[in-house]
């Protein structure tokens, strides 16, 4: 028996296990999050004898007599202080890292009540956060220290919940104190555990599967194979080419393809049973790269396809070739961008069970509960399926596809038992679609004044083992490759190839992160050739209200690129004057999926028995703060107060389908649907009726963001209802050769919550500092990616530069009270700005990411 | 001894020897601390002493990371590290596994378990001895917990 103290109470266990497993599985202290179980992420940080420690590291046999503290064991006063400080600072986004950060905060402040900024950074540096870029968490620690010293919690600085107010997000407390539930935090009566046996080879034919020995193992409840799928085996976000389970005779497409599913009473038995399944394979030659995939004699990744081309796009307007031929200045260049892992802190997890209606109900962490519903229904061959979101611990595009939801649904369907299917971090790194690796060739022609005359490009992407969103990502990469500039001649050709690598799909920026790097770098080179500054060349070409984008769209009055350029000018000029190396880049990014697709926002406001207005929208909050945005939307468009309103997480049986959290669309599109529903509510309240009088009534709002399809036969097609614009500046410290400051000016339309907006900007910038400088996702010769979360090269708290987020509050369209959105664009111009700054430092142009020759480069990698 | 104002991030000397082949056993290890006392003699701050095993030990509170002991050590087992990196390899033995195992009960035998375990790829076996790259180490201590020899330790005393 091992005995120690947890939150002041005696605890004991006979089992030698990690402290993390003991705290979660036996004590159900679910503030202690399992983000990797590798010692990397820090989400399971607890305090042991006054020092922070990752709970996944020590085993229970080594803890005799130790005193362990989790967030659940904080005093009331500490709980209030940290909740206030994290809320006031805007430090909470997805929240998965937050209990660990809170533990770091406490451990530091207990011994150092007045820490310096550097001491705070060090206290947080062994814990990763992927949402915030650490800026606001550092601020929260500083504020916590001040409050703890002074002994008084001040009033919230802004609390009117109107649009434009920097209110504390509505989910701060549950995330700071760790009682908010992510799927992994559900421990249901009679719950079993499920996991998939994955393919041994990236490309092989499955000859036979023998599950007899696994089924015979005591504790095993079911072992399922493809023949147990009642509906369609092949599912997928758009194209149905993702196998739920590879059948006998079928081809495997990557190492993450599932061959069999095991459900058992506990995880130890699941793992044992997986080893007992015998699968015979015929190993086949795999396709490792774009070059291999494109060869005439290449092995085909899919039996069903005629070639490895997953998608092809050709976008052309004007005559790019002719324009470039006649141009005074022409630059041609090859560019490459890497695979990138989302590295959200919460690995994929789903809990499924049979509910009171005999439906398969799935509690999931995803970017669209309706997508989970549709794909699982397709696979089960029945619409007796419900899906709901628990808290989502970050997505960034990586949780748009089915990873565990369908497997959990299938197990629940067969066993009629609640089941939890959770990916290990190594599985997560292998399985969910990544950011596409791109190779790109660009040519730009300009006149003597730096006016762009034409751009011509050819790009190719590795979309890996199934389509996911490879087609739309390629399309967005192509349509946005022109940049936010007014010129008429543009042509791009793009091809996405299947390979046997892990799949690639949506990732914050959606293809634009890649082509923006190319076109912005070219523009910086062009500025040098012409003899003007990168700022000036952008000012001369910038798209302005009423101007025509290279895609033919006439942009409206909301267009704020020039405002973002003006916003950085003073500091840009000052840094140039001081002789500091400065880099600059711009970007545009659509809000809404656009290009003629049915982009619906839908919301239902229901007055329930508690006489409060409940907001139901089938739209996932993946950590960005959608619930807060929608509540602010209601407060601004009704006479209700914050306390009259309840935000409900997305589900598929009450909330209407409001589309995927993708394409930076929810603030504007679901926001407008909510605004319209508010109009109906106010109509009903016209004669002085109160919410209590309206109990049981529903108010529905919907909005279609109507656009024209790509290649529509109209002179000026509307590709997207709105765009966000940005300028980012990177200033280096010539002495340390590190980044001193990143200034990020973003035109977001009307900022619903400027505090959240800044948080998005800071997080997006730091994410792309990683993309530009440090991150890697190596894939070996067997198409196997890294299994180590700590080796991805994510930025740590002590490494971040100063980040100045500038929110340009220029009202957008006459929808959603002028809000446009912010999610993706924050990550887009960072890499070219950083790259240009390093060129100004050492004269070396860099065309491949992550760039080399910087102090951020990892030795020996 | 006067307390010395130090600049954050704090640095201090660390001795890469467990001292499990102590003086009484005749210091069989060629690589470890020999208890010569040069370090204690040159330290102006009283931060280095010989412990009960007869090997050098650093008091990080007193140490200013001046580096005098590093220079004075004939065995080169002392180096300067950042105090925030509290997971350290306490062995310098470069012999192959078998020999390293024979001379000391807490020697690094270069088995590589730490290297396989390390999520950050921060620890590498170089010349048969584990070394931590402090720039990338996440101080989780997984290597210390998994080390079959107890050659990697947590200076805070939590994990080891």
Asked if the Cβ–Cβ distance from A38 to B141 is below 8 Å, we say: no
CB-CB contact of A503 with A492 (8 Å):
no
Which residues in chain A touch residue B119, judged by CB atoms under 8 angstroms apart?
A: 36, 38-40, 788-791
Please give the residue of chain B at the shortest CA–CA distance from A127. Answer: B138
Which residues in chain A touch residue B138, judged by CB atoms under 8 angstroms apart?
A: 39-40, 42, 126, 790
d(CA A55, CA B141): 11
Measure B27 CA to nearest chain A CA, in Å: 30
Q: State how far the alpha carbon of B52 is from the alpha carbons of B18, B44, B55, B104, in Å.
A: 11, 21, 8, 16
d(CA A10, CA A626): 41
Residue A429 has which token pair?
Answer: 């790194």
B147 touches chain A (CB under 8 A): no
What class is the A2-180 domain?
A: mainly alpha
pLDDT 10s digits, B104-134: 999 999 999 999 999 999 999 999 999 999 9
B145 touches chain A (CB under 8 A): yes
CB-CB contact of A434 with A339 (8 Å):
yes
User: E strands of A689-762, at which residues?
Assistant: 698-704, 722-733, 738-747
Look up residue A554 and give its DSSP letter: B
SS (H, E, C) A798-813: HHCCEEEEEEECCCCC
**Do the domains at A542-592+713-861 and A600-704 have one common CATH topology?**
yes
pLDDT at B6 over 80: no
Asked if the Cβ–Cβ distance from A859 to B135 is below 8 Å, we say: yes
Q: Is A204 left (phi over 0), alpha (psi -120 to 50) or beta?
A: beta
pLDDT 10s digits, A541-570: 999 999 999 999 999 999 999 999 999 999
Closest by CA position to A336, among listed A215, A442, A261: A442
Please give the residue of chain B at the shortest CA–CA distance from A115. Answer: B8
Residues 58-87 of B with CB under 8 A from A: 84
B141 touches chain A (CB under 8 A): yes
Q: What is the pLDDT of residue B1?
A: 47
Which residue(s) pair with A745 in the sheet? A727, A806
Which residue(s) pair with B57 in the sheet? B49
Which residues in chain B touch residue A788, judged by CB atoms under 8 angstroms apart?
A: 118-121
The topology (CATH level 3) of A542-592+713-861 is Aldehyde Oxidoreductase; domain 4 (3.30.365)
Rounded (5°) CA angle A92-A93-A95: 75
d(CA A592, CA A667): 10
The topology (CATH level 3) of A185-285+357-431 is Aldehyde Oxidoreductase; domain 3 (3.90.1170)
| Residue A850: cis peptide before it, omega within 30 degrees of 0 | yes
pLDDT 10s digits, B142-156: 999 999 999 999 999
- H/E stretch holding A2 reads strand A2-6
d(CA B124, CA B109): 12
Asked if the Cβ–Cβ distance from B145 to A858 is below 8 Å, we say: no
pLDDT at B27 over 90: no
Measure B6 CA to nearest chain A CA, in Å: 13
Q: Where are the domains of chain A?
A: 2-180, 185-285+357-431, 542-592+713-861, 600-704
| Residue B9: cis peptide before it, omega within 30 degrees of 0 | yes
Q: Which residue is it, tokens 């931590």? A: B132
d(CA A166, CA A146): 20
Residue A597 has which token pair?
Answer: 């697709």
Asked if the Cβ–Cβ distance from A38 to B133 is below 8 Å, we say: no
Query: Choosing among B61, B126, B159, which should be mutated to test the A contact, i.e. which has the most A CBs within 10 A?
Result: B159
SS (H, E, C) A217-242: CCCEEEEECHHHCCCCCEECCCCCCE
Give ipTM to 2 decimals. Answer: 0.96
Asked if the Cβ–Cβ distance from B120 to A40 is below 8 Å, we say: yes
pLDDT 10s digits, A191-209: 999 999 999 999 999 999 9
Q: What is the pLDDT of residue B28?
A: 80
Q: Which residue is it, tokens 């970007």? A: A587
Residue-wise DSSP of A23-66 = IIIIT--TTS--S-SSS-S-TTEEEETTEEEETTSSBGGG-TT-
Asked if the Cβ–Cβ distance from A57 to B136 is below 8 Å, we say: no
Compute φ and ψ for B3, nearest 5 degrees.
-70, 140
d(CA B16, CA B55): 10
d(CA A485, CA A587): 9
Q: What is the pLDDT of residue B21?
A: 79
d(CA A37, CA A57): 8
Measure B140 CA to nearest chain A CA, in Å: 5
pLDDT at B23 over 90: no
In the predicted model, residues of chain A with pLDDT beneath 70 are: 860-861
Asked if the Cβ–Cβ distance from B158 to A53 is below 8 Å, we say: yes
Look up residue A502 and give its DSSP letter: P
Residue A12, judged by CB atoms within 10 A of its CB (0-12, 13-18, 19+), counts as exposed
Q: Whole-model pTM?
A: 0.97
- H/E stretch holding A603 reads strand A600-607
* Distant-in-sequence, close-in-space partners of A466: CB < 8 Å, separation ≥ 6: A236, A239, A241, A242, A243, A253, A498, A503
Rounded (5°) CA angle A556-A557-A561: 90
CATH architecture of the domain with range A600-704: 2-Layer Sandwich (3.30)
CB-CB contact of A470 with A463 (8 Å):
yes
Residue A765 has which token pair?
Answer: 């910038």
CB pairs under 8 A between A and B: 67
CB-CB contact of A673 with A413 (8 Å):
no
Among partner residues B135, B141, B156, which is closest to A57 by beta-carbon distance? B141
d(CA A202, CA A209): 17
Q: Which domains does chain B have, with CATH numbers?
A: 11-154 (3.30.70.20)
Residue-wise DSSP of A311-338 = EEEEEEES-HHHHHHT-SEEEEEEEEE-
Please give the residue of chain B at the shortest CA–CA distance from A53. Answer: B140
B142 touches chain A (CB under 8 A): yes
* Distant-in-sequence, close-in-space partners of A479: CB < 8 Å, separation ≥ 6: A315, A551, A595, A710, A719
């Amino acid at each position: 028996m091992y005995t120690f103290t947890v939150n002041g109470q005696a605890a004991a266990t006979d089992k030698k296990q990690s402290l993390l497993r003991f705290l979660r599985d036996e004590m159900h202290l679910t503030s202690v999050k399992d983000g990797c179980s590798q010692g990397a992420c820090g989400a399971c940080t607890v305090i042991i004898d006054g020092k922070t420690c990752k709970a996944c590291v020590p085993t229970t046999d080594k803890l005799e007599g130790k005193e362990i503290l989790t967030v659940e064991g904080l005093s009331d006063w500490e709980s209030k202080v940290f909740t206030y400080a994290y809320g006031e600072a805007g430090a909470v986004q997805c929240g998965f890292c937050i209990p660990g950060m809170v533990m770091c905060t406490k451990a530091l402040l207990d011994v150092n009540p007045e820490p310096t900024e550097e001491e705070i950074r060090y206290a947080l540096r062994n814990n990763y956060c992927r949402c915030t870029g650490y800026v606001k968490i550092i601020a929260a620690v500083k504020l916590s220290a001040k409050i703890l010293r002074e002994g008084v919690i001040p009033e919230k600085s802004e609390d009117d919940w109107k649009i434009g107010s920097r209110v504390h997000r509505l989910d701060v407390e549950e995330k700071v104190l760790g009682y908010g539930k992510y799927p992994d935090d559900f421990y249901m009566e009679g719950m079993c555990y499920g996991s998939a046996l994955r393919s041994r080879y990236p490309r092989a034919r499955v000859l036979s599967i023998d599950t007899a020995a696994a089924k015979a193992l005591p504790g095993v409840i079911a072992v399922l194979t493809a023949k147990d799928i009642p509906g369609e085996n092949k599912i997928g976000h758009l194209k149905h080419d993702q196998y739920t389970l590879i059948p006998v005779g079928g081809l495997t497409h990557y190492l993450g393809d599932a061959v069999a599913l095991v459900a058992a009473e506990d995880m130890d038995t699941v793992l044992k049973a997986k080893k007992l399944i015998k699968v015979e394979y015929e190993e086949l030659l795999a396709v490792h790269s774009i070059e291999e995939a494109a060869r005439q004699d290449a092995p085909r990744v899919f039996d069903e396809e005629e070639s490895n081309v997953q998608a092809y796009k050709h976008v052309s307007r004007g005559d790019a070739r002719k324009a470039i031929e006649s141009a005074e200045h022409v630059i041609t260049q090859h560019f490459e961008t890497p695979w990138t892992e989302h590295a959200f802190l919460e690995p994929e997890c789903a809990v499924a069970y049979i509910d009171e209606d005999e439906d398969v109900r799935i509690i999931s962490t995803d970017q669209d509960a309706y997508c989970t519903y549709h794909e699982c229904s397709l696979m089960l061959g029945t619409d007796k399926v419900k899906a709901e979101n628990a808290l989502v611990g970050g997505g960034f595009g990586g949780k748009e596809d089915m990873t565990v939801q369908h497997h959990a649904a299938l197990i629940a369907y067969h066993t009629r038992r609640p089941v939890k299917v959770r990916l290990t971090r190594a599985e997560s790194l292998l399985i969910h679609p990544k950011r596409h690796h791109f190779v790109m060739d660009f040519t730009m022609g300009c006149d003597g004044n730096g006016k762009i005359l034409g751009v011509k490009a050819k790009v190719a992407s590795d979309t890996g083992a199934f389509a996911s969103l490879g087609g739309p990502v390629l399309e967005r990469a192509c349509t946005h490759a022109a940049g936010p500039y007014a010129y008429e001649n543009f042509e791009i050709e793009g091809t996405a190839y299947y390979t046997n690598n892990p799949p690639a799909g949506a990732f914050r920026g959606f293809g634009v992160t890649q082509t923006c790097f190319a076109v912005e770098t070219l523009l910086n080179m062009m500025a040098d050739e012409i003899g003007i500054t990168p700022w000036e060349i952008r000012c001369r070409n910038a798209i302005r209200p009423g101007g025509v984008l290279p895609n033919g769209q006439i942009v409206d009055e909301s267009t704020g690129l020039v405002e973002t350029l003006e916003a950085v000018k003073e500091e840009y000029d000052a840094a140039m004057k001081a002789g500091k190396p400065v880099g600059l880049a711009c970007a545009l990014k659509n809000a809404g999926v656009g290009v003629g697709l049915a982009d619906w926002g839908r919301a239902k406001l229901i007055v329930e028995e508690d006489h409060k207005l409940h907001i139901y929208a089938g739209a996932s909050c993946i950590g960005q703060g959608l619930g807060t945005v929608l509540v602010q939307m209601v407060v601004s468009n009704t006479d209700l107060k914050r306390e009259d309103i309840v935000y409900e997480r997305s589900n598929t049986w009450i909330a209407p389908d409001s589309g995927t959290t993708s394409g930076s669309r929810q603030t504007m599109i679901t926001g407008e649907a909510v605004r319209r529903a508010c109009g109906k509510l106010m109509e009903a309240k016209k004669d002085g009726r109160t919410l209590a009088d309206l109990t049981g009534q529903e108010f529905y709002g919907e909005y279609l963001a109507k656009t024209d399809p790509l290649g529509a036969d109209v002179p000026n097609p509307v590709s997207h209802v709105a765009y966000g614009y940005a300028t980012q500046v990177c200033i280096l410290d010539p002495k340390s050769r590190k980044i001193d400051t990143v200034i990020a000016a973003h035109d977001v339309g009307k900022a619903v919550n400027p505090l959240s907006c800044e948080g998005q900007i800071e997080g997006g910038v730091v994410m792309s500092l990683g993309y530009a400088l440090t991150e890697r996702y190596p894939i070996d010769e067997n198409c196997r990616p890294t299994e180590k979360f700590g080796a991805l090269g994510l930025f740590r708290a002590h490494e971040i530069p100063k980040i100045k987020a500038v929110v340009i509050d220029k009202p957008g369209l006459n929808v959603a009270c002028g809000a446009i959105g912010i999610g993706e664009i924050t990550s887009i111009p960072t890499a070219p700005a950083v790259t240009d700054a390093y060129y100004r430092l050492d004269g070396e142009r860099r065309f491949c990411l992550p760039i080399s020759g910087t102090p951020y480069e990892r030795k020996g990698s | 001894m006067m307390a010395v104002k130090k600049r954050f991030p704090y640095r201090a000397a660390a001795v890469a020897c467990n001292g499990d082949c102590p003086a009484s056993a005749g210091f069989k290890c060629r690589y470890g601390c020999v208890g010569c006392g040069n370090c204690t003699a040159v330290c102006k701050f009283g931060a280095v002493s010989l412990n009960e095993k007869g090997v050098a030990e650093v008091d990080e509170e007193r140490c200013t990371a001046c580096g005098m002991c590093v220079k004075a050590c004939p065995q080169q087992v002392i180096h300067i590290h950042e105090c925030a990196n509290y997971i350290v390899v306490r062995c310098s033995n470069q012999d192959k596994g078998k020999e390293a195992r024979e001379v000391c009960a807490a020697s690094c035998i270069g088995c590589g378990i730490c290297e396989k375990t390390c999520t950050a790829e921060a620890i590498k076996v170089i010349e048969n001895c584990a070394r931590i790259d402090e720039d990338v180490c996440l101080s989780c201590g997984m290597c210390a917990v998994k080390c079959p020899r107890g050659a990697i330790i947590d200076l805070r005393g939590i994990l080891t």
